[in-house]
Chain A
């Protein structure tokens, strides 16, 4: 079909429903002669055609991969997102329309993959359109999370006040982010709260401003002393001036007073500058401190290997204790190409590693070595034990899992609210009662 620019939101809603109907349909119902087909009409309304009848009189121009059809779809999503961004009408049906966009994209993605991935170049163009649309859908979500471009009310019929109190990301803390670091950071954040009562990474036991000011004052004092000595030396070593020493002495005293006055001015100026830029100063301090703290979080990531996907309580420190002994054993296993494991009966069996297994274990070893390098900052020889003690006082316990039932790729926030909301609320209320 020739390109049609669809600007009517009612037609868009209809088309989104059609696209969403393709989601999760079996592959044999989407590809081939008897499969369900998406039909484009001149008026912009999409249709579905099932079975052999839908394949009759169908030309390349009717294909989803045809350039004009891809453009029609691309602009329809673009217009719909533009409508969501700008429209303030009472019949906007904010939540419904937003959800329809997500579900339509999900259906389109499924249809494209199951029905068209083997059809050549046009498929890449379609995927590119889907990726671009995903980026556009990211924007309002990032607006909520970064507070930089908050358009919450245009995207959600009921919005809530969310305040980003401290912005950072993994990249600020680790130059080389590794898998599982998010788990380590979350664990460390909770540990600090449980043990020290800190509810932010920003909080620290050190008086940051006091320490910094003290350091600055010492520096200024040294500079002033140096200047005074230089001035006094020049007076004492000069014979002419020595004769006029009493007079000069008075002038030195004046000069000293002046310098002291200047010193005080500098100090108060420094304090003023620091206090004015306290947020900035704290920010810099926070980033530096967090980079040093990375070592604790780096090791905590290895607790995730055993914890993810398993039920029951697990002591974090026990996991760290296992990690201490792990790298040497793993290294020798990889080198020998075989691995010994204990079966449920207690018998030790040795098996030869496949290339895939070697690769997987090597990746695991690299991650542990990365964490150990991070730990290198701690001067103690028993640094892992020291780290283990930090986690000795906390217990990690899994709550009942939240069932997602289906995969949740390209899901609208309302889906998560529904499946996650009630369980999370109950667990949080129950835990903190």
Chain B
């Protein structure tokens, strides 16, 4: 998952906000991305995925002042003993 936070002051922008998106690698030739505001995307290469996310982040940067960018993972919890 990718999440970003926008809160610090930049020329009068003070409102805090944040957004989260998801990524999945299916195999070497298929990556799936999901943005809650745009839907689901398929890319054939990781460069394509990065291009997509660069465009998405640029889109949001026209509205918000992005200050923190984070990646996190969701995985299966270890089985209970």
Task: Give chain A's interface residues, CB within 8 Å of chain B.
Answer: 102, 109-110, 112-114, 117, 134, 137-138, 141-142, 144-146, 156, 159-170, 179-183, 185-187, 189-191, 193-195, 199-202, 304, 307-309, 315, 392-402, 404, 407-414, 416-417, 419-421, 423-425, 427-429, 431-432
Our pick among A186, A308, A408 for the contact of B66 (Cβ within 8 Å) is: A408
| Contacts A164-B39, A165-B40, A183-B20 given; does A424 touch B70 at CB 8 Å | no
B45: which A residues are within 8 A, CB to CB? 160
Quick one: which of A114, A169, A181, A189 contacts B22, CB cutoff 8 A? A189
Inter-subunit contact A138/B62 (CB<8 Å)? yes
Q: Can you spell out 11 A-B residue pairs with CB atoms less than 8 angstroms apart? A: A117-B12, A142-B59, A194-B74, A200-B32, A308-B5, A315-B77, A393-B77, A396-B73, A398-B70, A399-B73, A420-B54
- When the two chains form their complex, are residues B58 and A141 in contact, meaning their CB atoms are under 8 A apart? yes
B48:A199 contact, CB within 8 angstroms: no
Q: Give the complex CA separation of A109 and B50 in angstroms.
A: 27
Chain B residues, CB < 8 A from A109: 11
Option from A114, A165, A182, A432 in Cβ contact (under 8 Å) with B19: A182
Query: Shortest distance in angstroms between B6's beta carbon and chain A's nearest beta carbon?
Result: 8
* Cβ contacts B50-71/A at 8 Å (1 or 0 each): 1111111111011111111111
CA of A141 to CA of B20 in the docked complex: distance in angstroms?
18
| Complex interface: chain B residues within 8 A of A416 (CB) | 53-54, 57-58, 61
A167 and B39 within 8 A (CB)? yes
Are the C-beta atoms of B50 and A417 separated by less than 8 Å?
Answer: yes
Chain B residues positioned under 8 Å from A309 (CB to CB): 5, 68
Known: A200-B40, A425-B46; 9 extra A-B contacts, CB below 8 A, are: A109-B11, A144-B55, A186-B3, A194-B76, A394-B74, A413-B58, A416-B58, A420-B53, A431-B73
**Which residues of the partner chain B approach A141 to less than 8 Å between Cβ atoms?**
55-56, 58-59, 62
Decide: B65 and A428 in contact? CB cutoff 8 A: no
Closest 8 CB pairs of A and B: A160-B48, A190-B74, A113-B11, A409-B65, A413-B54, A167-B39, A399-B71, A413-B58
Q: How many angstroms between the C-alpha atoms of A21 and B16 in the bound complex?
A: 27
Contact A162 B41 (CB under 8 A): yes
Per-residue CB contact flags for chain B residues 31-47 toward chain A (1 = under 8 Å, else 0) read 11011111111111111
Contact check, A404 vs B68: say whether CB atoms are below 8 A apart.
Answer: yes
